[in-house]
Amino acid sequence: MTPFIVDAHTHTGLPGVFFSPEESARSLLARMDQQGIQYSVNLGSLRNLMGSSDAEMEKAHAEFEESKGRIFYCGYFDPRRGPDDLGILERASGRSGFKGIKIHPSFAKVPAPDPRYEAVWAFARDHGLPIVTHSWSVSSYNPVQALSTPEKFEPCVQKYPSVRFVLGHSGGRGDGRREAIRMARQYPNVCLDVAGDICDRQYLEEMVREGIGDRVLFGTDYPWFDQRSHLLGAFLADIPTEARRAILRDNALRVFALE
């Protein structure tokens, strides 16, 4: 089979939270070849979250080149290091493999509406780049997730309508998932990716029924999760063929300007 799928949510480097036998770009590329995945978007490693650096961007770019242009990458922005991280993003801008910006309010412990995020939204607008965020539902056992619930991003979504915005993990479970779907229906610049620990074909079926099949991106969170689990749900979902192709490929090509 000719590879055609785009995995819009992957990582390289040690996860840091738990052991993973696969963490290199070489391992990711081998999995892509095995499973018919043409391109991946690398959203960085624990090193990015702990402190972005030019060295991490150089590593990601080297992986892009070694993959012969198949593993694209995003930079990272932490509002606590705003000017420094913007400088790193600026130095990476214009490079062929650099395709977006990742933010993670729960890890940074800075809530999504904090005005310090304004700088990265303006940067994304001015450079034509998408922003991908961690998003989740309120969690009793992981209270920092409350900093990244989908509706908290709404003011910036409204203020920067030209910025393509991806709610990673589609808001998690329950109310978070419902809010993510509502925002994708309400705002043309909002997309969802299905990466994470929820591998349920019914979620995809619901999203297509809600009329947002053109705003859903296939993603896995590799190496945290096995890509095959998400592929199984995508191929078993009872959705039209054109919606399946959009989710598995076309939406990500558009959002990240891959082709």
- Asked if 120 and 77 count as a contact pair (C-beta separation under 8 A), the reply is yes
Average pLDDT estimate for 136-156: 97
Q: CA-to-CA distance for 120 and 138, rounded, in angstroms?
A: 25
The model's pLDDT over 61-76, given as tens digits with 9 standing for 90+, comes to: 999 999 999 999 999 9
Amino acid at 233: G
Q: Which residue in this structure is represented by tokens 């909002």?
A: 190
Secondary structure element (H or E) that encloses residue 174, with its range:
helix 174-186
What pLDDT band is residue 109 in, cutting at 50, 70 and 90?
Answer: very high
Q: CA-to-CA distance for 122 and 218, rounded, in angstroms?
A: 27
Q: Which residues are bridge partners to 81 per DSSP?
A: none
Report the percent of the chain where pLDDT is more than 90: 87
Pull the structure tokens for residue 98. 């650099």
Q: What is the pTM of this model?
A: 0.96
- Asked if 11 and 45 count as a contact pair (C-beta separation under 8 A), the reply is yes
Average pLDDT estimate for 196-207: 91
The predicted structure's pLDDT at residue 64 = 98
Average pLDDT estimate for 85-98: 96
The model's pLDDT over 26-47, given as tens digits with 9 standing for 90+, comes to: 999 999 999 999 999 999 988 8
- pLDDT at residue 253 is higher than 90: yes
Which residues does 7 contact at the CB level (< 8 Å), separation at least 6? 32, 37, 39, 40, 41, 218, 219, 220, 222, 227
| Half-sphere exposure for 56 (CA within 13 Å, toward CB) | 24
Q: CA-to-CA distance for 144 and 139, rounded, in angstroms?
A: 8
The predicted structure's pLDDT at residue 46 = 83
Pull the structure tokens for residue 203. 């979620």
The predicted structure's pLDDT at residue 50 = 83
Average pLDDT estimate for 143-167: 98
The domain defined by 5-255 carries CATH number 3.20.20.140: yes
SS3 label, residue 139: coil
Q: CA-to-CA distance for 81 and 90, rounded, in angstroms?
A: 14
Q: CA-to-CA distance for 114 and 53, rounded, in angstroms?
A: 23
Q: Which residues are bridge partners to 98 per DSSP?
A: 73
Average pLDDT estimate for 92-107: 96
- pLDDT at residue 18 is higher than 80: no
- pLDDT at residue 20 is higher than 90: no
- The DSSP bridge pattern shows strands 131-134 and 98-103 to be parallel
Average pLDDT estimate for 78-89: 96
Pull the structure tokens for residue 175. 């109310």
Cα 179 versus chain centre, distance = 17
What pLDDT band is residue 1 in, cutting at 50, 70 and 90?
Answer: low
Count CB neighbours of 163 within 10 A.
23
